[in-house]
Amino acid sequence: MRMNRDGRPLSISVALALLAATANGIPVSDFEQLVKIAKKFNGKRVTVVGLAEIGGSEFFLYPDVQSAKRGENAIFVDAHILNENSYQKFNNHWLKITGIVDTGIRPPLGVGECSIVLERLKLLPLRPLRDDSVRGVFRNSTGQTIDIRVPTPTGYAYAMRIAPSTATEAMVISHGKVTVTKKSGQTVAKGTLSWKDIADEYFDRNSRTFYYRIRDGRITPVLPREAKNWRK
């Protein structure tokens, strides 16, 4: 029997999620049908249950744990996220979302077979998956407004219009290249995220977060205690 990461049989987890979603009488759309024939649902209001993956400006919903691990069969949730992602707290949780299917919205990075404009969200009373992700906070010390593209486990995430002397919210990150640009698109800094050679003291273990300063064309790690009062 296939098991999820918390030891519960996968089929039971999905069944419990569906039961929780239908308890209040709101019909739940078939996740598989939404993914396969999204055009059939275009413009319609749907309610769907799934496992959330949320980080940076990305918000995806998966039908089960295995799909989430492989990055397959995803629905992109358009929650109008720019800088501060208030939905980050729902990462790795089972959710019921209601919204309008919009096939005109292209999921970021080509991930996701269907897009839903979010109207309502409900956290389901199921144990979330263990979160082993690493996060990063980036402070803009360039003196100008910037956009940042950072690598994530599923591709890239973006922090847009970060004002001078302010920092981003914590974003899920992975090893890879970071690009910082001005509004014009001109690159002002580049760097590579890799914590294999960074001293342990730069890692905030409580929040699983690294802190970085962007200045003089460079992206450098900062000790957590030095980032304590960063303004966001």
- Give me 134's structure tokens: 């690493």
pLDDT at position 112 is: 65
pLDDT for 60-95, tens place per residue?
999 988 888 777 888 999 988 655 667 888 988 999
Pick 216 or 35 by higher pLDDT.
216
Whether 134-227 and 10-123 are alike in CATH topology: the answer is no
Report the first-to-last Cα separation within the chain, whole angstroms. 46
Is 2.40.50 the CATH classification of the domain at 10-123?
yes
**Overall fold of domain 134-227:** Immunoglobulin-like (2.60.40)
Q: Which residue has the tokens 């980080």?
A: 55
Residue ranges of the domains in the chain? 10-123, 134-227
pLDDT at position 21 is: 41
pLDDT above 60 for 16: no
Q: Who contacts 197 (Cβ-Cβ below 8 Å, separation ≥6)?
A: none
- Are the C-beta atoms of residues 2 and 66 closer than 8 Å to each other? yes
What is the pLDDT confidence band of residue 22, given thresholds at 50, 70 and 90?
Answer: very low
Nearest to 115 by CA among 54, 59, 49, 51: 59
pLDDT at position 34 is: 86
Put the strands of the sheet holding 155-162 in their side by side order.
Answer: 155-162, 146-152, 176-181, 187-193
pLDDT for 160-219, tens place per residue?
899 999 999 888 899 999 999 998 999 999 999 998 888 899 999 888 999 999 999 999
